[in-house]
Amino acid sequence: MPAAIRIADDRLTAWLDLAAGEACAISVLRDLIAAACLRHGLQREALVQAGQPAAEARSLVVARGDPPEHGAAGTVELLVDVHDRPVKDDTGILDIHHQHRFVDVEAGQPLARALAPTLGRLGRAVDGQEIPAEPGEPVDLAAWTGDGVAREGEAILVAALAGVCRSQANAKGQVLSVTAKLSLRGDVDRTTGDIETRFPIEVGGDIKAGFTVKSAGTISVRGAIEDTRVSAMSTIQVGGILRGVRPTA
């Protein structure tokens, strides 16, 4: 079987097929390369090997193209220091008290912005032709828009009212919301960290020992308040019992 060049369907690889004991003279090799229109990514070492016979049949990679680099998807940049999970500090320590789960915001305050996807980088086939790259998908800001959050233009999310901003995980990533009152279904504990806001707070469970809750408004707790510090500029309402609590109102 005479020497022949075949090219992959994606045009990123070209092989020179040689039968056992066959070598390819430089003049023949040039003709094969020209006939196959190989103009990019020629592999010098493989071309040298082609001129030397070998005992077994060979498929030498004589050209390699550059695959395209597809664009990265758009992302969202938070403009407020709020998190949907505990974060570590600069020393790598997880601070269960200062988790930045809730942050006070003003009406109209920017909360997040969409960052555009990248276009990617063109590839080049072994025949020298460009291979287009697929641009990244834009981020879906609608998936980030919860109660009390509005769109401003195409790329900015703002607070629709003054209140407490929080970020919660959902099936598509995260959703931001702003409420005039901070309502928690469960306890104030290591899952929430300490809470301090100028807005009213409603706790559906307990305030666990060691955690601090402060509000410039009212604080309502359906459960118990354990050995902790609770401070409100207005009233503190407790549905359960007090255990070593230091309320300040």
What is the pLDDT, as a whole number, of residue 94? 80
Q: Which of 86, 77, 105, 82 minimizes the C-alpha distance to 179?
A: 105
99 confidence band (pLDDT: 50, 70, 90): confident
Least confident of 62-66, 87-91, 127-131: 87-91
What is the pLDDT, as a whole number, of residue 187? 94
pLDDT at residue 89 is higher than 90: no
pLDDT at residue 135 is higher than 90: yes
Dihedral angle, C-alpha 21, 52, 59, 44, nearest 10 °:
-170
How far apart are the C-alpha atoms of 143 and 199, rounded to whole Å? 26
How far apart are the C-alpha atoms of 176 and 53, rounded to whole Å? 68
This prediction's pTM: 0.75
What is the pLDDT, as a whole number, of residue 115? 96
pLDDT at residue 87 is higher than 80: no
DSSP secondary-structure letter at 242? B
- Reduced to 3 states (helix: H, G, I; strand: E, B; else coil), residue 220 is strand
92 confidence band (pLDDT: 50, 70, 90): confident
Average pLDDT, the chain: 91
What is the pLDDT, as a whole number, of residue 1? 63
**Amino acid at the residue 203:** V
With a CB cutoff of 8 Å and minimum separation 6, the contacts of 238 are: 221, 224, 225
78 confidence band (pLDDT: 50, 70, 90): very high
Task: Report all structural domains of the chain as residue ranges with CATH numbers, in order of start.
Answer: 4-64 (no CATH), 75-122+138-179 (2.40.50.100), 182-248 (no CATH)
What is the pLDDT, as a whole number, of residue 148? 97
What is the pLDDT, as a whole number, of residue 242? 67
pLDDT at residue 247 is higher than 60: no
Integer distance in angstroms from the first to the last C-alpha of the chain?
95
pLDDT at residue 74 is higher than 80: yes
pLDDT at residue 7 is higher than 90: yes
What whole-number percentage of the chain has pLDDT above 90?
A: 74
pLDDT at residue 224 is higher than 80: yes
Least confident of 155-164, 199-208, 214-223, 239-248: 239-248
| pLDDT one-digit tens code per residue, 159-214 | 999 999 999 887 767 899 999 999 999 999 988 999 999 999 999 999 999 999 99
